[in-house]
Structure 1
């Protein structure tokens, strides 16, 4: 039985760091294990222009503790007034790695997102021309669609028509939560890939709702049935290079989660690697963890894998995961997988 596992240092291809005191508090939790991360642009106000991205990158690097090696990969928030020339220039400067599409109202700080794809046609055409990836929050927001069906309807009514219309557009469907999303990414022709989160591999909607509502499991896209969770596990552990890790680690202070109208987001940066080793061991696929966490993502984004390594060791004693991370903005609860984790990051 494998008791020690050494991987190329992993990257996180979907991360929320927020700003200010929250950024300073949570950044070390990612930088401790991850070499790079695609940083989400949904601040208030959002990161819309190249200048915004440069300023945010500088704030992230200023918040990085001495001795930690971490590279933020910046994204632009797509709005209906985004300037294609600015996107082209930011890409040419090596400033941005992707552009993020939020359907307006789909998730935290998405009010500035896109309501009419026709209004961003020029930006999307420019991105297809220069090879800049579009990262997509894949849910419709029309009120008549049930929240558990939003991803499936998005695939049918938005994503598939978009990709047929712009076949050269490089698309990453982020935080897939359904078997429909998995099947689409696995089988669709063209340039598409998908990220899978730590928490969606470990929980389904029963964990969030049975026996009482657990607000720290509430996220968007919301966790689905166990059948969808199993499909995510099969995809993540399959070795298919179209699937890779994007934690969607999204910190909110406890006061914003534990309330009558709580925020969506799961904070998993602290214990993601231990969680992933647990899942991949359960699926008899530890030999494929490096591909999912460390290799497929860089290949997708045209980057070399990290040369540094990280080692995990399975021990009889559980990993001492803190219940909360104390930040200057307030306490943030760490994702609780519901059982002990025994894969320790040791080097």
Structure 2
């Protein structure tokens, strides 16, 4: 039985840090273990220009513990008024690593997102020319489409036509939740990848709804049927370089999660690596954990893998049920299974 596992230091290719007091409270839970992270731009107001990204990066670095080595990889929030020249300049300066597409109304703080995709065509074309990836929240927001079908419909209605119209565009399908998305990635050899979250490898929709509503498992995209969860596990543990970790760790205070219309998101930063080690061991794929967490993402983004290493040991981790923040307690995602690995 394997008792220790040393991997290159991992990266998180989809992370919410929020701002202000919440940023200062949650950042150390990522920067302790992860060397880099793609930072989501859906603040209020959103991070839409290079100047916005620079200012947000400065706030993140000011909140970083002095003994932590961490690099935030900034993104811009795509709107119908985004300036292609500003995007290209921010990319040329090394300020941003991607642009984020939110269909308007799809998730938390997405009201400024895209409604008419023809209006962002000039930005997408410029991104294709300069090799800047587009990160997509892959759901349609048509109220006639069932919430459990929104990812599959997005692929057919939005993603596939967009990629055909901009054939050089590099795309990351973020936080995929369906076998449809897994199959779509597998069908395309170049320019397309997908992130998979920690929690979508663990929960299906029964965990949210069966036996009572569990708001701390509610996220967007919402967890799907068990068949989809198993497809995600197979993809994550397969060694296929097109799939890599993006936790979508999303802190909300308990007060905001437990409202009659509660916020979507699972806070997984404190326990992602112990959970992933458990999942990969269950799938007899511990030897592939490093690829998923530390190698595949940098390869897609054209960055070197981290030189530093991290060691997991077979030991029950001490994970708090909540973390305290000045805004109120934030519940840590409960995987609902014993964890046998600690960093």
- String of CA shifts for 1:231-273, please: whole Å, max 9, x gaps: 0000000000000000000000000001211000000000000
Aligned residues: 343
1:337 aligns to 2:332 (yes or no):
no
> What residue in structure 2 maps to residue 120 of structure 1?
120
**Shift of residue 274 of structure 1?**
0.2
Alpha-carbon separation, structure 2, partners of 1:217 and 1:211:
13
Tell me the distance in 2 between the aligned counterparts of 1:80 and 1:323: 40
Alignment of 1:86-165 (within 5 A): 86-165=86-165
1:300: which partner in 2?
Answer: 300
Q: CA deviation at 1:190?
A: 3.6
Residues 1:55 and 2:55 aligned together: yes
- RMSD of Structure 2 on Structure 1 (CA): 0.6
Secondary structure of the corresponding residue to residue 324 of structure 2 = strand
Q: Deviations over 1:116-175 (max 9, x none)?
A: 110001100000000000000000000000000000000011101111111100000000
**Which structure 1 residue ranges, 4+ long, deviate > 4 Å from structure 2?**
none
Structure 1 residues not aligned, in runs of 5+: none
- Tell me the secondary structure at the aligned position of residue 327 of structure 1: coil
SS of the residue corresponding to residue 329 of structure 1 reads coil
Q: Residue 326 of structure 2 corresponds to which residue in structure 1?
A: 328
* Alpha-carbon distance in 2 for matches of 1:3, 1:167: 46
**Could you list the per-position Cα deviations for residues 181-234 of structure 1 after superposition, in whole angstroms to 9, with x for gaps in the alignment?**
000011125410000000000111111111111000000000000000000000
Q: For residues 331 and 339 of structure 1, what CA distance do their matches in structure 2 show?
A: 23
What corresponds to 2:23 in structure 1? 23
Structure 1 stretch 207-216 or stretch 39-48: which is displaced more?
Answer: 207-216
Q: What pairs up with 1:1-347 in 2 under 5 angstroms?
A: 1-315=1-315, 318-345=316-343
Three-state SS of the structure 2 residue aligned to 1:211 is: coil
How far apart in 2 are the matches of 1:337 and 1:270? 12
Counterpart-to-counterpart distance in 2, 1:342 and 1:320: 10
Q: Which runs of 5+ in 2 are unaligned?
A: none
Question: Per the alignment, in what secondary structure is the counterpart of residue 330 of structure 1?
Answer: coil
Is the contact made by 1:254 and 1:330 (CA closer than 8 Å) also made in structure 2? yes
CA distance in structure 2 between the partners assigned to 1:115 and 1:3 by the alignment = 51
- 1:274-303: CA deviations, max 9, x gaps? 000000000000000000000000001010
Give the match's secondary structure for 1:59: helix
SS of the counterpart of 1:76?
strand
TM-score (norm 1): 0.98
Is the Cα–Cα contact under 8 Å of residues 319 and 340 in structure 1 kept in the other structure?
no
CA contact (8 A) 1:252 1:265 kept: yes
CA–CA distance in structure 1, aligned partners of residues 185 and 287 of structure 2: 22
Q: Structure 2 CA distance, aligned partners of 1:251 and 1:320? A: 19
Structure 1 CA distance for aligned equivalents of residues 298 and 172 of structure 2: 13
Matches of 1:31 and 1:186, distance apart in 2 = 31
1:167, 1:190 within 8 Å by CA — same for their partners in 2?
no
> 1 CA distance for matches of 2:154 and 2:190?
18
TM-score (norm 2): 0.99
Q: Measure, in 1, the Cα distance between the counterparts of 2:69 and 2:189.
A: 37
8 Å Cα contact 1:168-1:190 kept in structure 2: no
Q: Deviations over 1:56-88 (max 9, x none)?
A: 000000000111111000000000000000001
